[in-house]
Structure 1
């Protein structure tokens, strides 16, 4: 479904991505793990067109989308739930979700997407008329993911969905990611909580200073001594 080939991205003189190669197959949950500054968010930003690749290619469903504007990439079936949630605080829950569907032409079917989001996140339904700025951190994360689903993506990119959440909410968010995947949405997950990410993913990539240093089935990565020592907090 998604193929990233020899991708290089710069921030000014900083070489942030150094020849990244990765693949996401339809139906998978694939996770990118690594320390701060490894290039995880930069990878998602380049895939979605928010950052311009210096060289290399991004292919989605057989089409080269490397130079396509972000709005067109959303229309082709890729949606991003950004790091830090980035909800619109002065707008209601329902208005935030409505913005997630702005690229869609099938306006009569948008109600079905609302229903799906509210089924996944009942708390959002309870607060649909409440402004997003008054929600808790966990509720804002639900809203950010729900907004990403409103464009009916085939591939959902999640950037640090557990960031700043209490442990019980982290478990709930990861359970919901599995549910979203089981409903047919492919997921590319960037997550510092490597243990949780690998526990739900099919495959994983380890990024270090802008390079892929390891890739394998998630279970194999979880059992790898180097990964355990560097990212899972044990040996």
Structure 2
């Protein structure tokens, strides 16, 4: 069962992000162009014993190509105050890593979902030397009216060294077809150490606010090879908790 984080106590806000709705939501970007906001889960994640993890968050942002959302994993050695730095020369939610964390080993991806297509960019390794992988993922276009809400579910299965990202519209139980996945060995990248997780958002030339409604992060032991595949590999993963 997934339980949302407390935005008051469990996350740190950076950039333009701020608590709204009496602390129940986070507005990540302002209603002006060139706005960037980030949040970081305060608890370090330990990769000992080859842990797998699941993360789930619900958010709203316009379906315009300049509006992007990113999931970021960085080592605990990184000065987290860098999450407050802006990269106004980029419409990417990952641009601050390329500018301020060039020599750190990171795992991050960003996506935008619009009527022009679904796109993802993946960054693995050191931003100064790693090539950003660009993907397009097919399926139903997840059209969102302004203020509409979408859910994203991220799963990392250590035994498979694989990360999968899926989406769901508010009010439905089924995860929709658009998704992407990629291979990554987190244990090898960080040698069994600790890392921090965060979300980054940028609205580029758009002037719309992005809002984070809920977020959770849960670790689990990896699925043994002899057992059935984890639920996230099926069309309808187990239902996340929404309080």
**TM range, normalised to the smaller chain?**
0.3 to 0.5
Scaled by the length of structure 2, the TM-score of the pair is 0.32
Larger relative contact order (Cα-Cα within 8 Å, sequence gap ≥ 6):
2
The structure with more strand, counted as a fraction of residues: 2
Q: TM-score, normalised by structure 1?
A: 0.33
Going by fraction, where is helix more abundant, 1 or 2? 1
